[in-house]
Copies of this chain bind each other. A is one copy, B any other.
Amino acid sequence: MNFGVIGYGYWGPNIVRNLASLDDSHVLAIAEISPAARKRAQKAYPAATVTSNASEVIASPKIDAIAVVSPVWTHYELTKAALQNGKHVFVEKPFTSNTAQGEELIELAQRKNLTIMVDHTFLFTGAVTKIRQLLDDGILGQLYYYDSTRVNLGLFQHDINVLWDLAPHDLSIMDYLIKTTPEAVVATGQRHLNGYEDVAYMTLYFPGQVIAHINVNWLSPVKVRTTLIGGEKRMLVWNDLEADEKLKVYDRGVDIKSREGVYELLVNYRSGDMWAPQLEQVEALRKEMNYFVDCVSTGRKPFNDGCAGLRVVKMLEAASDSLGKRGSLVYL
């Protein structure tokens, strides 16, 4: 499969490196605006065509699929053009800037029988794979909450706020793990520097008393990537910054007992062993690119398709709506 890649900034080089190393894929062309980045691309991949003209890449008859690794506001136009030229598309998260764009692209791909995959890389990590398995196997029991903190020092010149920048990771993971759509969203946050929210919080109400929360922050002195997941039977902590032991599963919980009096505990605590399962060690992005090539080849529908991307965009839209009112319940 021959690829054209649009965008060789922060993430693009990782996409190209993985596509170049897979057996069944080749990077024929790279489009990039920055001359310095083009120079780096050409030096690293002397055989590829490196250009400032994305349209040229998208129109090339030798190319089967386009990877869109450019800013969010360009996703719709580039993906549409690629689909219109008969190319399969691998597109960065978040999928589009709004629901209408996403729906149009999905419809277009369907009509032309082309594959859209949205880069929800985390779904291919050993950690998320294992958590999904723990949930599917009933190890955690009925889900109570999902609580993620994703903060660090970093504020990029996006046209987007910190929610659109960082929350798509968590929203795509939730979408994959919880397997249902939230009923309503509340988002709060504050702008301090460049007119976009750099600190934000998002609560999602899922059916069945499941609550999710995301804490994202570009102004944190330390990097944190920690998710707590509480279930009826077991609870887990996923610390993605740990080299080993990223996932710790606790045989802990609470059982409600009969009420006996004001000074007596209402509940019984269970505090058992902790267990850190060995996780698969492959690079998630490599696994994902491989899956894209495989889906396109076999016609299989990826689970991180345009619809998955659209569900994330809808949650982000609802969050933006709530955030604009400094926090208010917005139904999806």
A→B interface (CB under 8 Å) = 9, 33-34, 37, 46, 71, 144-145, 147, 149, 151, 153-157, 184, 186, 188-194, 199, 201, 203, 205, 209-211, 213, 215, 217-223, 228, 230, 234-237, 241, 243-245, 248, 250-252, 254, 256, 259, 261-267, 269, 271-278, 325-329
Contact = CB atoms under 8 A, between A and B. Distances in A.
A50 to B, nearest CB: 15
Nearest to A144: B192
Given A186-B188, A219-B230, A273-B278, 14 more contacts: A9-B263, A46-B46, A71-B262, A151-B228, A157-B262, A157-B265, A186-B186, A190-B209, A193-B254, A201-B203, A215-B215, A221-B228, A221-B248, A274-B276
29 contacts: A71-B262, A144-B192, A145-B192, A147-B199, A151-B228, A153-B254, A155-B254, A156-B266, A157-B267, A186-B328, A188-B203, A190-B205, A190-B211, A201-B201, A201-B203, A205-B326, A219-B235, A220-B230, A221-B228, A221-B234, A221-B237, A222-B244, A223-B243, A271-B278, A272-B278, A276-B276, A325-B329, A328-B328, A328-B329
A264 B205 contact: no
Given A33-B262, A327-B327, A213 B201 contact: yes
A319 to B, nearest CB: 12
Contacts of A34: 261, 263
A248 B244 CA distance: 13
Nearest to A10: B263
Contacts of A251: 278
A269 B152 CA distance: 12
Contacts of A215: 147, 213, 215
Contacts of A245: 274
A57 to B, nearest CB: 17
Q: Which among A71, A155, A191 has the highest number of chain B CB atoms within 10 Å? A: A155
A269 B153 contact: yes
- Enumerate the 6 nearest inter-chain pairs by beta-carbon distance, A residue then B residue, closest first: A157-B266, A186-B327, A221-B235, A221-B250, A190-B211, A188-B203
